[in-house]
Amino acid sequence: MFLALYLFTYALVACAGGLIGFLKAKSKASLIAGSVSGLFLGLAGALILLDHARAGAGLALVLSIALLGRFAPAFAKTKKIMPAGIMVALSVIAVALCGCALLA
């Protein structure tokens, strides 16, 4: 249950980040990537609530690793908390939570 709630929160942050990227920089790529990431993170949370915990945790793990791969280099380069630092922190937590859920 906690993992699903965390993933729903993570999904909202990803969607909001994509929207902010679009509004500030007119980046359609940010809007699309944030929306798609948020949609799939929300789906992962829903799978967990629907008793498909392994599928949901696996999907979220793959997405979180991908988002970490996208935002970690940006954070290392710029040291900016928004958006890269937030996404790195959320991704690391999601990787740990999903990894633990899959190993349990």
pLDDT, averaged per 10 consecutive residues of the chain (104 residues), comes to 97 96 94 97 98 97 98 96 95 98 94
Q: What is the pLDDT of residue 27?
A: 92
**Which positions ≥6 away from 65 have C-beta within 8 Å?**
91, 95
Q: What is the pLDDT of residue 22?
A: 96
Angle at 45 (CA atoms; ends 39, 100), nearest 5 degrees: 125
Q: What is the pLDDT of residue 104?
A: 87
| Nearest one of 85, 93, 91 to 37, comparing CA atoms | 91
Please give the single-letter amino acid code of residue 89.
A
Q: Which domain holds residue 55?
A: 2-103
Domain total of the chain: 1
